Structure 1
């Protein structure tokens, strides 16, 4: 699908475009969402550029995400596709093709940050009078979304910290099912943080590449525009530091949870160990008097049976009180 956005007094106006249509006057943004082979060929013929296929995008993302071909600059970044607590976080590649007149977006998914930028740009909130300003606005939306997701991840880690270390009002022991739930949440949060850190690294590389474009005909050569990209780079750097902090904190929570599980298991084993030690002397006494020998004088005593019971009880209580005195119980 081909969608073009024209600049109308610093406000983007959306128009659908079909094969055979000419690009409207004032177009600054061309959005290619899951383009067909015919749509790719049509755009290539009009703009005299090469549109990477989906397979080529995957290779470009890994091998050479930033390069120049002719008068067009190709920049591929990784952004978060899903970020809710219910969804499995996933990343997607978005390719920006910057020409002298347009910024082309090639994508096969719809990140929320791009939807938010388009909605704000159509209301005139973002300055969109050139391909460069559109690209900077999209990157700013990506960065803001990453900041929001990292903030939510930080809040989630705070809740997990309380669930692990703070006792409930009823002083309940955390059950194994609850531990399993906590570990799953830690894993989900860790994956979310990792995906965002990957996205930040990708965006930072794009900013470095974009700042090095030296063309007097572009806004990139102007001091004001370079200053804006420096500010974006600072935000990416600070978010990267925050992401590193959250990653370390998530690792700490995982280690703490596993440690708490180990403590709970040791408590259970200790109970069985104490129980074995308590019942070991009575078992020994019962085994002795359970032997079938004729010459056992205690068997003929009138109070032999109560005496044996008393010895068994005393032999069980002595280890119990000993463990209590040592505070092993």
Structure 2
């Protein structure tokens, strides 16, 4: 599908008057029309997926070819990285992508009736929206991590039983894992955008007015701050994941400790009972009137002594 902005008038074609052309999963006919009009080559999906810097950022005369992965599937909850191409020519900005990207739909409304729109200003507007959305995603991830921290460190977690709290912490760790995965995808996207911004400033500064230069430089500063924030967020996530694992291990160790103490305390009485269960003809205690109470007391003492020893060592 081919969209062009600003909207064409009745007197002219979209390609002849458009400042920004957006190709969403274009067919061969749409590609050829744009290529012939601007003398460019529209990359296919395989080319956009290339990860080498030389493939993502290159110049051909006065035309800049750039690509970056963007976040798709936000509305459905199934996030994925979708590559998008940006072709900046002196006459128009051409974007191409093969997945539905909310960023392009939102910017379309912003630039549809913008006066004095230029290809570079359209690109700046598009990148600003992408970076703003990246900041929103990181803020949401930070809220998830803050809730997990509150649950782990400030709530009395282990009072309702190990099984229930294990399920609770497993859910917390799943939420943190999702937040970490999404934050890493967002970081990969905005760092790619940062390389694009530096590339545009390096190649186009003489042609950009001061206002546009300031916008691109502000994008660089925003991306640098987002990178620092994501790095800090990653450290918090790692700390909470380690803490959650440690809490589960501590609780499990307490359970194992109780079972170990119980088994050790029970061994001496079993030994006593085993001795008096032997079939010997000569066993004086069998003829004592108090032989049975004596054996019970001996079983009790044999269990009490190791228990008191564990208590004295502060193992229970």
Q: Does 1:78 align with 2:69?
A: yes
What is the SS of the residue equivalent to 2:58? strand
Alpha-carbon separation, structure 2, partners of 1:80 and 1:182: 24
SS at match of 1:64: helix
Q: CA deviation at 1:215?
A: 7.0
Q: What displacement does 1:31 show?
A: 0.7
SS in 1 for 2:84: strand
- Report deviation, 1:22: 3.3
1:154 aligns with 2:145: no
Q: Which residue of 1 aligns with 2:33?
A: 42
Corresponding residue for residue 128 of structure 2 = 140
1:320 corresponding residue in structure 2? 307
Query: How many angstroms apart in 1 are the aligned matches of 2:295 and 2:110?
Result: 88
**1:52 equivalenced with 2:43 (yes/no):** yes
2:287 maps to what in 1?
Answer: 300
Change (3 A) 1:248 1:155: same
Distance in 1, matches of 2:69 and 2:59, equals 19
The superposition leaves residues 161-213 of structure 1 with CA deviations (integer Å, 9 ceiling, x where unpaired) of: 12222334893345322232222222211111111111121011001100012
Aligned to 1:32: 23
Distance 2:168 2:229 in 1: 28
TM-score of the aligned structures, taking structure 2 as reference length: 0.90
Structure 1 pair 60/319, CA: closer, same or farther in 2 (3 Å)? Answer: closer
Q: Distance in 2 between matches of 1:261 and 1:321?
A: 28
- Shift in CA distance, 264/128, structure 1 to aligned 2, threshold 3 Å: farther
CA distance in 2: counterparts of 1:88 and 1:241, whole angstroms? 26
| Partner of residue 259, structure 1 | 246
Distance 1:14 1:148 in 2: 33
**1:1-329 equivalences in 2 (<5 Å):** 1-6=1-6, 13=7, 22-23=13-14, 26-59=17-50, 63-83=54-74, 87-122=77-112, 129-168=117-156, 171-173=159-161, 175-214=165-204, 218=207, 220=208, 222-329=209-316
How many residues align structurally? Answer: 312
Rate the CA distance shift 1:215–1:236 in 2: closer, same or farther, 3 A.
closer
Change (3 A) 1:98 1:122: same
Change (3 A) 1:81 1:291: same
Q: Is the 8 A contact 2:72 2:79 kept in 1?
A: yes
Question: Alpha-carbon deviation of 1:323?
Answer: 2.9
Q: Are the counterparts in 1 of residues 69 and 82 from structure 2 also a CA contact under 8 Å?
A: yes
Cα distance per residue 1:258-296 (max 9 Å; x no partner): 111211221111011110121111111111111111111
Structure with the higher fraction of residues in helix conformation? 2
Structure 1 pair 326–68 and aligned structure 2 pair: CA distance change class (3 A): same
Q: By how many angstroms is 1:69 displaced?
A: 2.1
Q: 1:326 to 1:60 in 2, by over 3 A?
A: closer
Gaps of 5+ in 2: none
Partners of 2:71 and 2:186 within 8 A in 1: yes
TM-score, normalised on structure 1?
A: 0.87
Inter-partner Cα distance in structure 2 for 1:160 and 1:305:
58
How much has 1:62 moved relative to structure 2?
A: 6.0
Per the TM alignment, residue 83 of structure 1 is displaced from its structure 2 partner at its CA by: 4.4
